[in-house]
Chain A
Amino acid sequence: MNKTSTKKVSIFLNGLIKENPVLVLVLGTCPTLAMSTSVISAVAMGISATLVLVCSNIVISLLRNIIPDKVRIPSYIVIIAGFVTMVQMLLHAYLPSLYAMLGVYLALIVVNCIILGRAEMYASKNGVFNSLLDGLGMGLGFTLALFLMATIREVFGNASFAGIKIGFLENYKIAILTQAPGGFFVFGLLIAIVNKIGHNKTVKKKEFSCSGCPSASFCHKNLCEENTLEKEEKQHA
C-alpha cells in the first residue's frame, strides 16, 4: 500500500476506533443513551446520523472557502438541518415503523454535537474526499458504539437480539437494563473498560466538561465551565 492510501485509511480508522466519538470523545451522549434500548433502533439511529454526517461534511468542505467566517455556525446548522429533514422524509415515506421508533430523536440529530463538531473541526479545514472519509469513519464509529451498547442492553435486559428471542436467557432477564437507569449504567461501564484498555490516557485528554466539547471553540468566547466559574467568582468578589 502506498503512502497516500495508508493516510486515507488512517483518517477513516481514526474515527472508528482511536477517536471513537462516543466512547473516547464522549460526544452525542443523548442519542446513544436513548436509542440503545434495542439493536434495531440503535443501528437505524447510527445509519441516519452517518448519512447526515457524510453529506454535511461533503457540502461544508465544498463550501469552506465561500462561507464567511462570521456566519459559519448558522450556515453549518442550516446545511445539517437540511440533510436531517431529507432523512426524516425518506424514513417517513419508506420505513414508517422505524420513523415512529426513532421519534423525536431523529429531528434531534441536528443538535448532535458529533456532526457540528466534525463540521467545525474537520470539514471546514480539509478537502472533500478526506472530509467524506472522516465523516464515514466517525459515523461508523458512532454506529459501532451504539450497536455495542444496544447489544448488551437488549441481550441481558430483554433476552433477545434484534428482535430474535434467546431462549436460555428468558428466565434471567435484567429488565432494568432496558430502562433509563440501565442506559447510564452500561454507558459508564463501557467507558470504564475503554479507559482501562487505553491506560487512562483518554480520561486526561477529554474531561467531560465543555472543554471536551467540540462546540467549545465556537460556543461564544469559550464560555466553558472553568471560564464561567472564574467569571462568577470575579463578579462576586
Chain B
Amino acid sequence: MLKSLIIILMTSVLVNNYVLNKFLGICPFLGVSKKLNQAVGMGLAVIFVMLLATLVTYPIQHYLLDKFNLGYLQTIVFILVIAALVQLVEIILKKYLPSLHRSLGVYLPLITTNCAVLGVTINNITDGYNFIESMTSSLGCGLGFLLAMVLFAGVRSRIENAHIPNAFKGLPSTLIAAAIVSCAFFGFAGIVENLFG
C-alpha cells in the first residue's frame, strides 16, 4: 500500500513531471519563473489548489456524476467547481488568514484557469485512482511543478546575463533552456521501476 503510494508520488514528481514532460501549466512556468521567491509562491499555491480541487472533484465524480450517469458533464462541472472554489478560498483567506493570503493569495486568481489543475483532476479519474491515491498523485504533481519552477528560476537568472543573438532574446532562449532542463528530467525515466519495483 505504502509502496504503491510512494511509486505514484515519485512518478508524478520526477518521471511524469507535469510541466517538463506533460506540458501542462506552461504559462505560469514561463511567466512567473523570473524570480525565485515568486516561483516558490506560485508553486506552493498550485500544490494547495491541486489538493483542494482533488478533494472536491473526487466525491463529485464518484457520488454524483457516476451515480446518475452524468459522466459527460465532467468537463463543465470540474472547471466550474474549480473556478468557484478558488474564488471562495481567496475570499476566506482574505478575511480569516490575512498572513497566508498575503503570501499565497496573489497567485490564486492566476491558477483558476490553469490547465495543470484541471488536468490533474481529470487524470486522477481516468487513471482509476482511489481517494488516497488521487490525493498522493495531486501532491506529487504539485511538488513536481514547484520543483520545475524553482530549478528553472535558477536557470533563468543565468540567461538574463548571457549574450545571445537578438532573435533569440526573450522567449526563444527561455524555451531552449526549458528543453535542456526537460532533458535532465528525461534521465529519471525508469528510475522508479528500478528503485521500488
Contact = CB atoms under 8 A, between A and B. Distances in A.
Nearest to A85: B75
A228 B38 contact: yes
A87 B32 CA distance: 32
Interface string B159-173: 000000111111111
Given A78-B76, A111-B118, A225-B34, A191 B26 contact: no
A181 B180 contact: yes
A228 B20 CA distance: 25
A108 B118 contact: yes
B113 A116 contact: yes
A235 B171 contact: no
Contact of B113 (A85, A207, A215): A215
Interface in B96-133: 102, 106-107, 109-110, 112-115, 118-119, 122-123, 126
Contacts of B109: 219-220, 223
A230 B102 CA distance: 12
B26 A29 contact: yes
Contacts of A77: 79-80, 83, 113
A223 B110 CA distance: 8
Contacts of B31: 208-210, 213, 225
A231 B118 contact: no
Contacts of A34: 22-24
Given A33-B26, A110-B118, A191-B172, A231 B106 contact: yes
B24 A182 contact: no
A147 B25 CA distance: 22
B21 A192 contact: no
Interface of B is mostly: helix
Interface residues of A, number: 57
Interface residues of B, number: 57
Given A81-B79, A195-B167, A232 B38 contact: yes
A152 to B, nearest CB: 14
Interface string B10-34: 0000000000111111110011101
B175 interface: yes
B21 A180 contact: yes
A84 B22 contact: no
B75 A81 contact: yes
A181 B185 CA distance: 9
A184 B182 contact: yes
Contacts of B170: 195, 203, 207-208
A203 B118 contact: no
B79 A184 contact: no
B48 interface: no
A110 B75 contact: yes
Contacts of B73: 85
Nearest to B169: A203
Contact of B179 (A89, A107, A182): A182
A158 B168 CA distance: 27
A98 interface: no
17 contacts: A81-B76, A85-B73, A85-B76, A104-B123, A104-B126, A111-B114, A176-B183, A180-B182, A181-B180, A185-B176, A200-B167, A207-B170, A208-B31, A210-B110, A213-B27, A229-B38, A232-B37
